[in-house]
Amino acid sequence: MNKLFLLPLSMLLTACISSYNPSYYYNEVQVVNLSGGIINDVSLRVVDSRSLACEEVLKNAMCDERFGKRRYPQLGIELAWTHPGGERRADSFSPSIPAYYSTSFPLRIVMEVNEDGSVKSFYEQEEPGRDGIFDMN
């Protein structure tokens, strides 16, 4: 009897889990310069959505922009810059969103340009309470 009950229940749970598709939003983009020198002609383009450009980003500084919330870009992010030493670099990224992020709070797209020219791309989200929304004091 238990097997007959568990089979439909497991099928129902599987159907619910596989159709879960949360709607995330973002409201900020950042390019962080960890290259050890100045990077120039920085351009970041979120495909079908937003662009950011900075002539120069100093060592250990960032180029960023905040705006109204936009739907999470599923098509990718393009970054181009001139690395210290003069070589032009460009790449496309599609960072994943951690499952524990809430759809209630917008995300920040972060691109960290490293000394070797590699880029770490990821999403960040403010912790509830940091912006005063959940502060009880």
**Tens of each residue's pLDDT in the chain, 137 residues:** 555 555 555 655 554 555 556 789 999 999 999 999 999 999 999 887 778 999 999 999 999 999 888 888 777 899 999 999 899 999 999 999 988 899 999 999 999 999 999 999 999 997 665 554 444 44
CATH code of the domain occupying 21-125: 2.60.40.2890
- Per domain, the residue ranges of the chain are 21-125
2's enclosing H/E stretch is helix 2-18
Q: Whose structure tokens read 């662009």?
A: 51
* Residue 85 to residue 29: CA distance in whole angstroms: 25
Q: Radius of gyration over alpha carbons of the chain, in Å? A: 20
pTM assigned to the model = 0.76
